[in-house]
Amino acid sequence: MKFFIFLLISIIGVIGCSSTKEIKDGDNKNSNYSKEPVMEPLVYQQKFIKGTDFFARGNEPFWTLEIDFEKAMTFNTLYDINMNTPAVEGTKLEGVDVTRYNARTEQGELIVTTIKEDCQDNMSGEEFDYKVVVEAKNLSDKDYKLFNGCGKYLYDFRLNGIWIMEEMTGVELKKEELLKGFPTFGFDLNKMRFSGHAGCNNLTGKIELKSNKITFGNIAATMLACPDMMVERAVVDAINKNTFDYKIDNQKLTLENESTKIVFKKEK
């Protein structure tokens, strides 16, 4: 089974039939243009605010891909392939973290495959979380062109920092009854971790961000005997290995899923 999965991922690297044409270094007359620097967080933040959920790019030739999962996929190259397609639902391959998106328009066809695997941009050295393979062709083309690169989910960088809980579904928060005051979460987006406390015991764990969704990993907590454990249990039970939609507006952070809504304010 492991061999089969390895073989599958290897095949994805050269997706397509024999008619697929891979773009090579010599095909790009403007290869100097592809020397793209590492993007600053502000650039990604601007793309996120405009609606981009997933961003990818590659070199030789330089290309970019932006996906808004609710609206569109936009693919641009230095060649004659530049497409804007409607959003399509991805198809996940069983047993591996691989998703394939296939969109057809009157202009042509775009097939995007994302593979959850560390990837480094070969020009800038920037680190990404996904390998990305794009197959594209205009309606008039006989063959697909194959583009390889790296990609990442974008997210709201304003989440970084310390947030103080103001309200939570089913929980009455009274500062004077909590040993350390209102529960407080600190998010470190460089390490993709959070830490803080739930009114008494300290909490820590991994987080994963995909566009406007945050997933908490397994929560680790200290073991102090607290006067009132009701709030702490509720907080841990609500976030442990659970996913929320998140939204930041006017220095307020809202986490919400089908069962729970939590509101924080940014620490001054």
Contact 10, 2 (CB under 8 A): no
Same domain, 112 and 126: yes
Contacts 24+ apart (CB under 8 A), 241-247: 241/215, 241/216, 241/217, 242/215, 242/216, 243/213, 243/214, 243/215, 243/216, 244/213, 244/214, 244/215, 245/212, 245/213, 246/156, 246/159, 246/212, 246/213, 246/214, 247/212
Domain boundary among 118, 153, 188: 153
What pTM value is reported for the model? Answer: 0.81
Residue with the two structure tokens 């020397």: 35
Domain boundary among 153, 187, 217: 153
Same domain, 116 and 172: no
10 found inside a domain: no
Same domain, 28 and 149: yes
Predicted confidence at residue 227, as pLDDT, reads 79
Amino acid at 97: D
Q: What is the pLDDT along the chain (268 residues), one digit of tens a residue?
A: 444 344 444 444 443 333 344 444 334 333 333 334 456 788 999 999 999 999 999 998 899 999 999 999 999 998 788 999 999 999 999 889 999 999 999 989 999 999 999 999 989 999 999 999 999 999 988 899 999 999 999 999 999 999 999 999 999 999 999 999 999 999 999 999 999 999 999 999 999 999 999 999 999 999 888 877 899 999 999 999 999 999 999 999 999 999 999 999 999 8
Same domain, 138 and 21: yes
Cis geometry, peptide bond prior to residue 61 (ω within 30 degrees of 0): yes
Amino acid at 87: A
